[in-house]
Structure 1
Amino acid sequence: MKGTVILSHGLDSGPQASKVSALAEVAAAHGWGSVRPDYRDIDATRDPLAIDDRIARALDHAPASGRIVFAGSSMGAFVSGFASCRRPAEALFLMALPVAIPDYPHPFAAAPIPTVLVHAWQDELCPVEDAIAFARGRGDTLHLVADDHRLGAHVDYCADAFDRLLRTLG
């Protein structure tokens, strides 16, 4: 096994969500293991401060040693960025990234590692301008697609972009 991909689902979603499931298939095809933490109990509180519990859970699912890639959608992307600052990782794959969460007291952060973002032009929850500014400021790869926040019409596109990222990691 080349390493472990931590796949974090979004709010109002679950570990079997279509995007994280598609990424798990890609990871397996490349010889990476994957885990999908279940955050639904944390999300049920609707407490922005519970985001710290989500980050802790993502880190709890990461092996203490070995290669890690953090990947996630929406709230899962937000959590993945923070997790990458606390556990060395090879790369980040962020879909529908919110760069701020109302009432969450910490500004978004992500480790300076290879990062690929997929974001929708018509994202009704996370302004595309914020994703562009984030990616531009770091020199990250950014894919913009004609879709809404859920990226439902671009699940295969996300999987293909993730495939390309994993290929760069060997």
Structure 2
Amino acid sequence: MISTDSAMQDVDKLVSFAHGKESGPWGIKITRLAEVARARGFAVDSPDYSRTHDPRERVQQLLGQHPRAKTLVLCGSSMGGYVSAQACAALRPTALFLMAPALYFPNWDEEPAGIPELAAVAHGWRDDIVPVEAAWRFAQRNRAALHVLDAGHDLNDQLESLCLLFDDLLARAERNT
């Protein structure tokens, strides 16, 4: 597995993952989605954000990594969804894939800017941590594809669906560059 390092800069195709508050850089979802990305020839980056639970510090950490690629895809889960969405204005990714994004929480409820036209959100109907309404609001405001699945917050019981959705997004990102 590839971790964050300077070798991840200036590649042709790159997926940069941002994990959630309580998970790590190589959890179940990221590991599976990284396989999908590698099968399409993408380099994969998954920094460890666990040194802080402050979402804004995590955004700064991602920006400090300076991920660059002709086809850059940001992918985040839960708080990592917030991080990925908030980084769009500065990083200008080709595509954005969010899973149960922790958006619009008190004290970190700013509207993300610079969201790419190619954006998709997957959220669980049974999510008891981030209300599905947050995903709906983001998708509506950004004209993003919204996929609501029969799952809880971690979405781990919908890995096959997530892989299909992510693979489709990557295929469209490749066609758009």
Task: Tell me, yes or no, whether TM beats 0.5.
Answer: yes
Give how far 1:65 is off: 5.1
2:109 matches 1:109? no
> Do the aligned partners of residues 98 and 16 (structure 1) sit closer, same or farther apart at CA in structure 2, a change above 3 Å counting?
same
* RMSD over equivalenced CA pairs, Å: 1.6
Percent of aligned pairs sharing the same letter:
33
2:57 matches 1:42? no
Query: What's the TM-score, normalizing by structure 1?
Result: 0.89
For these two proteins, the number of residue pairs brought into alignment is 163
Residues 8-157 of structure 1 mapped to structure 2, 5 A cutoff: 8-43=18-53, 50-64=54-68, 66-104=70-108, 106-113=109-116, 114-157=118-161
> Do the aligned partners of residues 165 and 137 (structure 1) sit closer, same or farther apart at CA in structure 2, a change above 3 Å counting?
same
Residue 162 of structure 1 aligns to which amino acid in structure 2?
F
Distance in 2 (CA, whole Å) between partners of 1:31 and 1:168 is 14
> Conserved in 2, the CA contact under 8 Å of 1:94 and 1:117?
yes
In structure 1, runs of 5+ residues without a counterpart are 44-49
Structure 1, residues 71-119: CA drift from partner, whole Å, max 9, x if none?
0100001100011111111010000012223333x51304231101000
Query: What's the TM-score, normalizing by structure 2?
Result: 0.85
Distance in 2 (CA, whole Å) between partners of 1:155 and 1:36 is 18
Give how far 1:125 is off: 1.1
In structure 2, runs of 5+ residues without a counterpart are 1-10
Distance in 2 (CA, whole Å) between partners of 1:30 and 1:81 is 23
Runs of 4+ in 1 over 6 A off after TM superposition: none
> Conserved in 1, the CA contact under 8 Å of 2:14 and 2:44?
yes
